[in-house]
Each structure stands twice: as structure tokens, then as C-alpha cells.
Amino acid sequence: MGFRKFQAEHIFTGRELLGADQVLITDEKGKVADVVSVKEAGEDIQVVNGWISPGFVNSHCHLELSHMKGLIPEHTGLVDFIIAIVTQRHFPEDEILQAISDAENEMIVSGIVAVGDISNNAISLNQKAKNRLAYYTFLEISGWSPMIADPRFLKGKEYYDLFEQLNSSNCRLSMAAHAPYSVSQKLWGLLQPFFQAKTTSLHNQETDFEDAYFLNKTGDFNRMYEFMQIPTDFFTATGKSSVQSVAHHLHGADKVLLVHDTFTKESDIDYLQKIAADQPNKWQYCLCVNANQYISNALPPIELFREKNCRIVVGTDSLASNHSLSILNELKTIGKFYKTIPLTEQLQWATFNGAAALGFNEQYGEITKGKQPGIILIDGIENNQLTTASAVRRLI
Ligand SMILES: [Zn+2]
């Protein structure tokens, strides 16, 4: 079997940055054989321009919404965005399937190797079964009225059982609750046994109306429930933030991807750390900055997450709220607004941390002997930061 040897400006291993004096050696499939000094590497070294990195992990996506690209205008705010999704997501099946396949291609071309994908149905199943990317499917259920908890759960469980047939090292699965404001106590109770020792996901604090609703039942969510004719009389304000009101339901989970966290406060982080003090990596703060920009023109408090040593991962969200499914484009936006965050740290969120969060770290997320993480090249890096000209391509 032949070997391939790469030398670049830097090799980012997933956790550390190596210099140009190091050479990455892989087999033809990209399985890492070694990283050695140029002197020891021998002949036939391919010299490339840019940084070599393990393939990206997209920790939050909704493949099944790919057909909604460009449909919803930007900056509507979350409530009108949700109303648009609910009322406009229904399309002919062949169009949805084609968009899913195209979206997957886009992810592969942009250097993504593994995806945490939210599924409210099983329409993405056949594409995932092709095994072109590793998928962690979060079979997501919602239902604010306790009256519909049973039928919603049973329908979701049917889809869950379909996905379970794919269950393999490259196709993982768990149940997930959609968001604090869309899952009743009763439905949480039905979902809870499925979180046990797994990674699950929760859309969290994407708008400040979420906390307003839980704190005192005020704000724009009232308009949403009214529009959707969802009763709310059963709900009493908890006097706590949304995430603090529901976190106990996630007690049994090994890891939880808290997605968006745009309006997460220091007191929320402290609370979450305290209730899972024996699980330091339980809460994974999943940034989807381009979607936050698209929907609300907002950004999550990333500096706060770093100060608090939060575990950070990166996702694209869906094409309904993003112009592309590119992790590089997410990092470009982070770099644009948070100029002091080192690129190596951001790359770790997008590779090593994502793979570990989704349980794909045996193969992905790190350039180290024996793993086959996908080898990508990022160019256009100046002063150790991405530029608008930065691009990514797959070496293997
Ligand atoms: Zn989402």
C-alpha cells in the first residue's frame, strides 16, 4: 500500500498547531500513519499552501430543511421564522430528497466529515444510509400542549425505530427535545429514558423571549402560541430562565448540545455547571453564528463561554437560516466579530470537540496515529486568522 506525505505552513492536529518542519504521513485512504520531522520523512512529500486540519464536524444541522434555502427573509426574529418554517416546510418529497442530497454534497466539498443532524421525520434516512458522512441523528420531538404528548411521542418513536436499523459506528442516534418552550412536562417524561448515557440536543435561548416566557409568561412567544392555536393555560411561569427550568429533565444524559445559546447568561452557565459538577463535559455550547445573524442579527456571548471554560462546538443550522452549510463560513463570522479568539481554538471547537461531543472521536476530530479524520487544507490564512479569501478543500 502506498503512502501520502503532506507538508504545509502548519498542521493543526485538532488540539495543537505544528510547524512547517512536520510532515503528515497517511495511507491512501487518509488513515494517519505518523507525523514526523521533514528530515525523517523521506521522499515524495507533497508541499501544500495553507493549514492542514482534520475534517470539520458540523455539530448542528437540519438536512430535512435544505429545500427551504432562501425562502425565509433575513432578520425576521425567531417567532416569525418559526411560523414560516411550520407553515412553509411542506414540499413535494422528490424536491426535499434532491435538496438533502445537494446539501450533503455541499458539506462534503466544504470539508465536513461528521454531522449532528436534527430529524423531525425519517426523510433523510436513505441519504444517511449511503454512509458518505458520519451522522449523529437527533430524532427531535416537540409538543407544547400536554394533550398531544402521547401521539407526538409515538410518532417520533416510529421514526426513531426506523433510524435504529442504521445504527452503526458511523450512524448514531438519540431522541431529542426540541426546545424548552416547545416540550411539555409530560413529553419530557416520555423522552427521558432515551437520554440515558447518550448525547442529546436542545435548542436553547435562541431569543430573549424564551426567558421572558419562563420568567413571567410575557413576550413574543404568546403571539406564536396564539397564531398556532396552541393552548397555554396549563403553563405557569417558573420564575427561572428557560434552560434552568428544564435542565433537570436532562439529568441522565451523558452530553447535551445546547444549540444557539444566543441569550444565555452567566447565571445559566453557573447553574448548569453546578448541577452536573461530576460531568465536566456534559454541556456543549453549540454555536450557530450565521443562523443567529440570519434570523435575529444577534450573536452568542462567546467570550463569556470561554471565560467560564465552557465546552464549545460549532454547527451550521439549516439552509432555511443560513446561506451555506460550511463550518469554515461559521468560523469566518466568529473571527470577524471576535478578533481576539485564536484560530487554533476555533478549529478545535470545529474538529476535536465536535467529534468528541457526537462520539465520533475514535475516527474523527484529530490527526493522530490510527485515526482517519479526513484531511483538509485551509488557505488564505493571514496573521493566524482566516480572511474573506480563506477557502477549504479536501486533500483526502
Ligand atoms: Zn436548529
Tens digit of pLDDT at every position of the chain (396 positions): 689 999 999 999 999 999 999 999 999 999 999 999 999 999 999 999 999 999 999 999 999 999 999 999 999 999 999 999 999 999 999 999 999 999 999 999 999 999 999 999 999 999 999 999 999 999 999 999 999 999 999 999 999 999 999 888 889 999 999 999 999 999 999 999 999 999 999 999 999 999 999 999 999 999 999 999 999 999 999 999 999 999 999 999 999 999 999 999 999 999 999 999 999 999 999 999 999 999 999 999 999 999 999 999 999 999 999 999 999 999 999 999 999 999 999 999 999 999 999 999 999 999 999 999 999 999 999 999 999 999 999 999
Query: Are 23 and 126 part of one and the same domain?
Result: no
Query: Distance, CA 384 to ligand 1 centroid (Å)?
Result: 30
Query: Distance, CA 83 to ligand 1 centroid (Å)?
Result: 14
Query: Are 93 and 151 part of one and the same domain?
Result: yes
Query: Are 110 and 243 part of one and the same domain?
Result: yes
Query: Are 98 and 187 part of one and the same domain?
Result: yes
Query: Distance, CA 85 to ligand 1 centroid (Å)?
Result: 11
Query: Distance, CA 263 to ligand 1 centroid (Å)?
Result: 15
pLDDT of the residue at 167: 80
Query: Are 106 and 40 part of one and the same domain?
Result: no
Residue 55 makes CB contacts below 8 A (sequence gap 6+) with: 111, 112, 113, 114, 351, 364, 373, 374, 375, 376, 394
Give the closest residue to 124 by CA, choosing from 87, 85, 166, 76.
Answer: 166
Provide the b/e sequence for 46-55 (b: ≥16 CB within 10 Å): eebebbbbbb
Query: Distance, CA 134 to ligand 1 centroid (Å)?
Result: 18
Distance CA(69)–CA(203), nearest Å, equals: 20
Number of domains in the chain: 2
Query: Distance, CA 320 to ligand 1 centroid (Å)?
Result: 10
Query: Are 219 and 298 part of one and the same domain?
Result: yes
As residues whose CB is below 5 A from the ion ligand 1, the structure lists 317
Q: What is the DSSP letter of 90?
A: -
The enclosing domain of 195 has a CATH number of 3.20.20.140
Query: Distance, CA 19 to ligand 1 centroid (Å)?
Result: 37
Query: Are 23 and 64 part of one and the same domain?
Result: no
Query: Distance, CA 345 to ligand 1 centroid (Å)?
Result: 23
Query: Are 223 and 269 part of one and the same domain?
Result: yes
Residue-number span of the structural domain to which 63 is assigned: 56-364
**Phi, psi (rounded to 5 degrees) for 391:** -140, 160
Query: Distance, CA 28 to ligand 1 centroid (Å)?
Result: 36
Distance CA(77)–CA(263), nearest Å, equals: 13
pLDDT of the residue at 1: 64
pLDDT of the residue at 80: 94
Query: Are 63 and 41 part of one and the same domain?
Result: no
Query: Distance, CA 206 to ligand 1 centroid (Å)?
Result: 10
pLDDT of the residue at 168: 83
Query: Distance, CA 200 to ligand 1 centroid (Å)?
Result: 13
The enclosing domain of 9 has a CATH number of 2.30.40.10
Query: Are 329 and 377 part of one and the same domain?
Result: no
Query: Distance, CA 68 to ligand 1 centroid (Å)?
Result: 13
Query: Are 272 and 392 part of one and the same domain?
Result: no
Query: Are 61 and 90 part of one and the same domain?
Result: yes
Element (H, E) at 121: none
What is the value of pTM for the model shown?
0.98
Query: Distance, CA 10 to ligand 1 centroid (Å)?
Result: 33
